[in-house]
Amino acid sequence: MAKESEKREGYSGVLPKKGWPARNYRFWRHRLIPQLLKKREGSTHEPILVPPEDGLLRATWIGHASFLVQFEGHSIIFDPNWANWHGPVKRQIEPGLHLNNLPELDLVLVSHAHFDHLHKKSLREIDAGQGIVVPQGSGSLVKKLGFPNVTEMKVWEEREFAGMRVVHTPSHHWGARYAADTHRNYGGFLVGSGDRKVFHCGDSAYFGGFKEICEREKICLAFLPIGAYDAPSGRDVHMNPEEAIRAFGELGADLMIPMHYGTFPLGNEHPDEPIERLVKEAVRLGIADRVIVPEAGKAIEV
């Protein structure tokens, strides 16, 4: 009988595809080894501590999939990761914000248990009045990190935290932190405060679920991954830039900010390729004014 994770819709599996030794050789030879001696780029900024004006939300990309989001009366953080290294993978840009000088946070949301999204050392340094939200099956990983509450959510489950509406949305990915713990779920989050709604996709390959999210929700700002699409494993786990633009259109969101690129080299594609392809596709479709590419640490208000 198949395991429950293997029957789950949107599950990519954990086994590499044919040809993975050659892809892994290219990854080490052309991505990991060259980046070891490369100096980190960018700089770390002080966050804006005052809330945005009424009717606006403020988003600050910290790097990789980490975002600080501030509504008029609430502040949240997605997938906080200030790591300089993940094993042999070196961080390529400085974190956009200082970890020890964040505004008062209401909630932390972690999309899945992978080390580059659920980074325990960063989470231990963060306080949040309403605690932390993780997908079903990952609560045990964060219960000793000092949060006042740990909430696990199922896909399409909805909760309210301090007046904010949180919906756990589906994705096409996988959630195991190690090879054997495939029971852990994964996905994205939609968070709304007032009439402003932000969507954090988590990690995902392209799949039909973006249309369903659109049918259920009206999104102001979507954070969508655009990197690591040439995975050394060969598995279908991340979107390329054109697929991210397609997902953006199907979500019906007003604006998009890309993520999961430029911070940790996790795919065989050239580091500059994701943004170049994203901008080219946005221009081709006439939507370049709706795709925002911010510098890490520089806030965007919408």
- Residue 8 has what pLDDT? 62
Instruction: State the DSSP string of 155-205.
Output: TT-EEEETTEEEEEE--SB---SSSS-TT----EEEEEETTEEEEE--S--
Q: Span 116-145, mean pLDDT? A: 98
pLDDT at 3 over 90: no
The pLDDT > 90 percentage for the chain reads 93
- Residue 2 has what pLDDT? 39
pLDDT band (50, 70, 90) for residue 4: very low
Rg (CA), the chain: 18
pLDDT at 5 over 60: no
pLDDT at 102 over 50: yes
How far from each other are the two terminal CA atoms of the chain, in whole angstroms? 49
pLDDT at 37 over 90: no
**pTM higher than the cut 0.85:** yes
Q: Span 25-53, mean pLDDT? A: 94
- Residue 6 has what pLDDT? 46
214 phi and psi angles, rounded to 5 deg:
-60, -40
- Residue 207 has what pLDDT? 97
DSSP character at residue 153: E
- Residue 184 has what pLDDT? 96
List pLDDT tens digits, range 254-289. 999 999 999 999 999 999 999 999 999 999 999 999
pLDDT at 14 over 50: yes
List pLDDT tens digits, range 222-237. 999 999 999 999 999 9
CATH class of 19-301: alpha beta
DSSP character at residue 245: H
Residue 171 · residue 179 · CB < 8 Å: no
List pLDDT tens digits, range 183-217. 999 999 999 999 999 999 999 999 999 999 999 99
- Supply the mean pLDDT for the chain: 95
List pLDDT tens digits, range 137-179. 999 999 999 999 999 999 999 999 999 999 999 999 999 999 8
**Rounded distance, CA 92 to CA 38, Å?**
8
Q: CA-CA distances (angstroms) from residue 170 to 97, 175, 273, 291? A: 29, 12, 27, 23
Residue 9 · residue 170 · CB < 8 Å: yes
- Residue 54 has what pLDDT? 87
